[in-house]
């Protein structure tokens, strides 16, 4: 097991009717900026519950944060925060709204020239403007971690940021919200969470027996609830396990003491920046081929995963490992997620070269758990994914 530090101070309020708790979690006298996305919360009743719960506060609203939270939109929100003297933010939405709010949390207190520095210069946020969240789409885990990914369409960039100042003060997880999520987003959420676990697990054995089993627990649960959720998103048992699994997949716990990969995300982000493909779907396109390409380096963990998650009992390590990749790809397909780039765009030719070039131009440090993947390797993996 590798050395690690772990601290996650976010308070989780999980279950039916927890939205009403907002009133006691936001500091008294706060001037609140209520942030949300395209307005689905006005159709499913969540907006009304939040308004009711925040009645005692002065609340300014900022809606319209798009999927893949867009830098230009967020710049407008910074203006509102400063003009209105906002002291607390409440993000009501999925990962995009919460990630956007994290950027605002950092940018509102940033003293440098341009808030884009936070992303381009990888400035760690030690302290941010405090915020809470009401999660409406389980997927990214952003509700209980200190990371965010921001998109700038002007430059076709999608970059990450983070730091201990960016944990939500609280996050409200009411699984009843799952009932009104469209099938497409349910499938995305399951795929996103599952791939988050893979990125922290599918490396090489590092003697972290407990962490391996915790990761397998989340994957086993997602595999178990996936068909139930898609068949009936109002199934509370399935919805609550779906929601808590997504949070646990990326709240820092399972990555502690183990090597982590994240190459699938690095490549996937590029596909979203180029083609606007849903984040989760880019992961499903890249992950199986990433594992095929790096088969020798990852086969021990692939075989263990085959045994414990997919109950593969027979065969050599290589046979089990190969089967594991097939099972993973089939799992994504069972969610009606296409796993080839060509299923999403006709103009995929040249993508691999462009991504490799982007990586080169950003100052290449090597991808994957061994930091040994070069732009040429990325180019091959993306080509395998056409």
For the bound state, the minimum distance from the C-beta of residue 312 to its own copies, rounded and expressed in Å, comes to 16
Instruction: List the one residue from 78, 220, 230, 312 that touches its own copies (CB under 8 A).
Output: 220
CA proximity to 52, closest of 34, 31, 29, 64: 34
112 binds its own copies (CB under 8 A): no
Between 198 and 225, whose beta carbon lies closer to its own copies?
Answer: 225
8 Å CB contact between 328 and 334: no
For the bound state, the minimum distance from the C-beta of residue 200 to its own copies, rounded and expressed in Å, comes to 15
Phi, psi of 134, deg, nearest 5: -120, 110
Between 7 and 43, whose beta carbon lies closer to its own copies?
Answer: 7
Q: Which helix (H) or strand (E) holds 72?
A: helix 71-84
14 binds its own copies (CB under 8 A): yes
Residue 131's DSSP bridge partners are 89
User: Helix crossing, 183-201 with 263-275: angle to 10°?
Assistant: 150
8 Å CB contact between 104 and 78: yes
245 binds its own copies (CB under 8 A): yes
Contacts of 180 (CB under 8 A, 6+ apart): 40, 43, 44, 233
Instruction: List the one residue from 101, 151, 241, 328 that touches its own copies (CB under 8 A).
Output: 241
Q: Which residue has the tokens 């921001």?
A: 150
Instruction: List the one residue from 216, 261, 329, 377 that touches its own copies (CB under 8 A).
Output: 216
Between 33 and 134, whose beta carbon lies closer to its own copies?
Answer: 134
For the bound state, the minimum distance from the C-beta of residue 171 to its own copies, rounded and expressed in Å, comes to 10
Between 10 and 140, whose beta carbon lies closer to its own copies?
Answer: 10
Between 87 and 241, whose beta carbon lies closer to its own copies?
Answer: 241
Separation CA 238–CA 245 (nearest Å): 10
8 Å CB contact between 49 and 180: no
Instruction: Indicate the DSSP class of residue 70.
Output: B
Between 4 and 364, whose beta carbon lies closer to its own copies?
Answer: 4
What residues make contact with its own copies under the rule CB under 8 A?
1-18, 175, 207-211, 213-214, 216-218, 220-221, 224-225, 236-237, 240-241, 244-245, 248, 253, 256-257
């Amino acid at each position: 097991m590798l050395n690690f530090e772990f601290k996650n101070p976010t308070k989780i309020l999980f279950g039916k009717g927890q939205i009403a708790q907002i009133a006691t979690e936001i500091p008294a006298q706060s001037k609140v900026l209520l942030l949300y996305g395209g307005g689905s919360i006005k159709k499913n009743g969540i907006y009304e519950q939040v308004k009711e719960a925040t009645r005692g506060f002065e609340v300014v609203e900022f809606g319209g944060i798009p999927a893949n939270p867009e830098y230009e939109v967020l710049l407008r929100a910074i203006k509102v925060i400063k003009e209105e003297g906002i002291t607390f933010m409440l993000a009501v939405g999925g990962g995009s709204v919460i990630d956007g709010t994290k950027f605002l949390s950092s940018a509102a207190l940033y003293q440098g020239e341009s808030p884009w520095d936070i992303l381009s210069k990888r400035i760690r946020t030690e302290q941010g403007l405090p915020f809470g969240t009401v999660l409406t789409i389980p997927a990214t885990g952003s509700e209980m971690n200190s990371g965010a990914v921001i998109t700038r369409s002007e430059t076709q960039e999608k970059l990450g940021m983070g730091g201990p100042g960016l944990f939500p003060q609280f996050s409200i997880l009411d699984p009843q919200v799952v009932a009104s999520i469209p099938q497409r987003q349910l499938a995305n959420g399951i795929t996103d969470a599952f791939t988050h676990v893979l990125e922290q697990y599918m490396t090489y054995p590092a003697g972290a027996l407990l962490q391996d089993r915790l990761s397998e627990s989340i994957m086993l649960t997602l595999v178990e609830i996936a068909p139930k959720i898609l068949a009936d998103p109002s199934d509370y048992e399935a919805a609550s396990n779906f929601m808590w699994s997504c949070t646990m997949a990326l709240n820092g716990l399972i990555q502690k003491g183990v090597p982590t990969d994240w190459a699938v995300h690095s490549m996937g982000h590029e596909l979203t920046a180029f083609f606007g493909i849903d984040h989760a779907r880019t992961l499903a396109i890249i992950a199986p081929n990433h594992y095929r390409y790096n088969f020798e380096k990852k086969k021990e963990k692939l075989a263990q995963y085959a045994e414990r998650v997919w109950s593969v009992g027979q065969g050599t390590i290589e046979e089990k490992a190969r089967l594991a990749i097939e099972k993973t790809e089939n799992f994504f397909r069972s969610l009606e997620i296409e796993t080839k780039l060509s299923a999403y765009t006709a103009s995929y030719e040249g993508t691999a070269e462009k991504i490799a070039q982007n990586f080169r131009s950003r100052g290449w440090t090597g991808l994957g758990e061994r930091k040994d993947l070069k732009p040429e390797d990325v180019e091959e993996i993306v080509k395998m994914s056409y």
